Amino acid sequence: MSTYSLSDGIASGAPRLSRAPVLASWLRESGVGVLAGVAWIAFGLSCLWWEDLGDWSRTHSLGIAAFIVAAIALFGTVGADYLGSAGKALRQRAPWLVALGAFLTLWEVATAKFAWLPLPFFPPPQSIIEVYTDDLPKLLDSVFASVKLQLGGYLIGATVGFLTGVSIGWSRAVGYWVHPVLRFIGPLPATAWLPIAFFTFPSSWSASTFLIALATGFPVTVLTWSGVASVSNAYYDVARTLGAKPSFLVLKVAIPAALPHVFVGLFMGLGSSFAVLVVAEMIGVKAGLGWYLQWAQGWAAYANMYAALIVMALLCSGAITLLFAIRDRLLVWQKGTVKW
Amino acid sequence: MVTALAEIATPPAAGAALDIEQVSHAFDIDGAELPVLSDVSLSVEPGEFVALLGPSGCGKSTLLRLVAGLDKPKAGTLREDEVRIARPHPSRVVVFQDPTLFPWRTVWDNVALGLEAQGVLKSQRHRVDDALDLVGLSDFRTAYPHQLSGGMAQRVALARALVNDPKILILDEPLGKLDSLTRITMQAELVSLWQRKGFTTLLVTHDAEEALVLANRVIVFSDRPARVKADIRVDRPYPRHRGDPYLADLRRQILGLLGLDATW
């Protein structure tokens, strides 16, 4: 952009100014949104223009849906000023809509239309949609089973880990006995217990719950413990001079002070428990998304695998988002001091 | 004389007497014993404002921890109103050099800490409001410590101590980290709080001027292990003026005792 001096504008630029900048600023604000519309129209066209190479029943609906998204993007962009926060949100996400539309177009063309990527290993988008519509009950059952198993194991692991961590951090005697055990067993990946767990526990469900709890418990214990151990003595001194009893020191000083560490542990535990969940479902449990993946592979139903993977990704990121939301609520006091 | 005045000013919550009798203390560092206090004896009358002055690291703060009951002396006894000090008690509250507010609690909840720990908060919530009023921070009751300036945080720490109606207020260089303007304001506030409430005050400082502006008595300690080197009465009415020639003279004497007379 060239430098612009005031006198130029008054002398000669005035008539030129009136149109071009308005258009330029409109393009700057809405150009990406229009591009998003174009990308999704391209996706819709790519669905409908050529014949499918295979036999997929949702191609037509997918094309229509793409046009609907395109229409929403276009109208949303044009009318963004009248849509308030929704329009603003759309404008903010427009670059992602462009990328997504372009990716889907490429995917559609590369699989269903010209098979640049070998079928059936790379199913087109419409076959994944087909899984969601036609195999929904089974998929939902799997989601439900996975969530139940994960939630039970995670809650048990997190609770036991938290209590153990606080006890080791607080009591020297507990630390003396538990610490070496933790040192010895903790670093072992929970999946290493799988063969033993599956024949020592009465059911594969209880065995998996145990393994998930184990995978969650270790990081939660270690981080809670280090959190409690690193609480400044000054806090205890203050509380003691104000008449605090030991229970007050634990509940109202040690635990709240250690909470940021505890959440790091909960976060790490969540990650490692996902890994155990999927492995346990693939090997022993006869339900859940891991099992669904395994089952789909057995039938060479690749679209089902991708569909299940996408659901799994949504669930895992949803769980982490939920954990972060809880953390932000409990640790409002950290706002502006610590970020991780 | 001082006692009588304090009793008239605030009949119920007057200060307590403090007796420190031949107290010695030492730290164990890597098996070696490092003496920090050697045969310290000191009698503080109810309602007195006593400043403990000495070179940094001489053991003044250790003495305060003993008075608070946070540590036990290796030898000797400490008594509050004839009762032996064995553990911390809210009648002896410490304000530390760092405000050490609990960052996860709001200002109000920080001040409420003592009442909550003693299990009386539910019936006495108004005392928290009163303490916040006293230090002029009522508008900040819902703020978190990280939102406060250094002086405000130290005021909250003071309110957190005062809400317990202590008989002995123990101040461990509470103004040491504040900027000089805030410091002067808070010195005046401390004096007026002490005059209104009548508690006994122990102030550790290494600022001779601060000691002379605030205290009835200045105890000068030697280098480690700390021994009482001088016990100086400061008979001047409040508010005191920093330029008072009497105080300047005392200050010269004190700096001389600390081995710093060459600089004056």
Tell whether A85 and A212 lie within a shared domain: no
Range of the domain at B213: 2-263
Please give the average per-residue pLDDT across A62-69, as a whole number.
Answer: 92
Q: How far apart are CA B165 and CA B158, in angstroms?
A: 11
Which range is least confidently modeled, A16-30, A98-112, A287-301, B194-208?
A16-30
Residue B35's pLDDT band (boundaries 50, 70, 90)? confident
Residue A336's pLDDT band (boundaries 50, 70, 90)? low
Residue A165's pLDDT band (boundaries 50, 70, 90)? very high
In this predicted model, what pLDDT tens digit does every residue of B209-230 receive, in sequence order?
888 888 889 988 888 787 888 8
Predicted local confidence at residue A16, as pLDDT: 52
SS (H, E, C) B84-123: ECCCCCCCEEEECCCCCCCCCCCHHHHHCHHHHHCCCCCC
Tell whether A86 and A145 lie within a shared domain: no
Tell whether A159 and A251 lie within a shared domain: yes
Q: How far apart are CA A258 and CA A263, in angstroms?
A: 9
Task: List all residues of chain B from 128 to 187 with a beta carbon under 8 Å from chain A.
Answer: 144-147, 160, 164
Residue A6 has pLDDT above 80, yes or no: no
- Could you tell me if residue A129 is inside a domain? no
- Could you tell me if residue A124 is inside a domain? no
For residue A37, give the amino acid letter: G
Residue A212 has pLDDT above 90, yes or no: yes
Write down the mean pLDDT value for chain B.
Answer: 84
Report residue B18 as tokens: 């403090």
Tell whether A100 and A180 lie within a shared domain: no
Residue B21 three-state SS: strand
Strand extents, DSSP E, chain A:
none
Predicted local confidence at residue A70, as pLDDT: 93
- Could you tell me if residue A130 is inside a domain? no
CA separation (Å) from B226 to A19, A329, B56, B80, B168?
84, 49, 11, 21, 22
Nearest CA to B169 among B2, B14, B5, B27? B14
Report the chain B residue with the minimal C-alpha distance to residue A234: B100
What domain count does chain B have?
1
Range of the domain at A145: 136-334
Predicted local confidence at residue A11, as pLDDT: 46
Predicted local confidence at residue A263, as pLDDT: 93
Strand extents, DSSP E, B187-239:
200-205, 217-221, 228-233
Predicted local confidence at residue A9, as pLDDT: 44
**Are B258 and B55 contacting, i.e. CB atoms less than 8 angstroms apart?**
yes
Tell me if ipTM is over 0.90.
Answer: no
CATH number reported for the structural domain that contains residue B230 in this entry: 3.40.50.300
Nearest CA to A336 among B129, B148, B87? B148
Please give the average per-residue pLDDT across B80-87, as a whole number.
Answer: 85
Nearest CA to A113 among A47, A65, A42, A66? A47
Please give the average per-residue pLDDT across A27-44, as a whole number.
Answer: 88
Residue listed under structure tokens 């919530």: B125
The torsion of the CA quartet A219, A225, A227, A230, rounded to 10 degrees, works out to: -140
Task: List all residues of chain A from 193 to 252 with a beta carbon under 8 Å from chain B.
Answer: 232, 234-235, 237-245, 248, 252
Please give the average per-residue pLDDT across B13-20, as a whole number.
Answer: 79
For residue A102, give the amino acid letter: A
Count CA within 13 A, CB hemisphere, residue A51. Answer: 3
Residue B85 three-state SS: coil
Shortest CA gap B97–chain A (Å) = 11
Report the chain B residue with the minimal C-alpha distance to residue A253: B102
Q: Strand B228-233 to strand B217-221: parallel, antiparallel, or no bridges (unpaired)?
A: antiparallel
Residue A338 has pLDDT above 50, yes or no: no
**Are A78 and A12 contacting, i.e. CB atoms less than 8 angstroms apart?**
no
In this predicted model, what pLDDT tens digit does every residue of A291-327 receive, in sequence order?
999 998 889 889 899 999 999 999 999 999 999 999 9
Q: Which of A234, A243, A333 sits opposite B96 (nearest CB)?
A: A234
CATH number reported for the structural domain that contains residue A261 in this entry: 1.10.3720.10
List of chain A residues whose C-beta atoms are within 8 Å of the C-beta of residue B96 = 234, 237-238
Report residue B212 as tokens: 């002379």
Report residue B89 as tokens: 């008690």
In this predicted model, what pLDDT tens digit does every residue of A253-305 receive, in sequence order?
999 999 999 999 999 999 999 999 988 888 888 888 999 999 988 898 898 99
Tell whether A111 and A166 lie within a shared domain: no
In this predicted model, what pLDDT tens digit does every residue of B144-165 receive, in sequence order?
998 888 888 988 998 999 888 8
Shortest CA gap B8–chain A (Å) = 27
Write down the mean pLDDT value for chain A.
Answer: 87
Quick one: what percent of chain A has pLDDT higher than 90?
47
Tell whether A113 and A145 lie within a shared domain: no
In this predicted model, what pLDDT tens digit does every residue of A128-143 receive, in sequence order?
888 898 888 999 999 9
Residue B80's pLDDT band (boundaries 50, 70, 90)? confident
Tell whether A159 and A77 lie within a shared domain: no
Instruction: Determine which of B92, B102, B167 to mutate to test the interface with A (most A C-beta atoms within 10 Å).
Output: B102
SS (H, E, C) A162-208: HHHHHHHHHCHHHHHHHHHHHHHHCCCCHHHHHHHHHHHCCCHHHHH
Nearest CA to A194 among A183, A181, A210, A182? A210
Please give the average per-residue pLDDT across A73-91, as a whole number.
Answer: 84
What domain count does chain A have?
2
A92: CB partners within 8 A, 6+ apart:
none
- Could you tell me if residue A127 is inside a domain? no
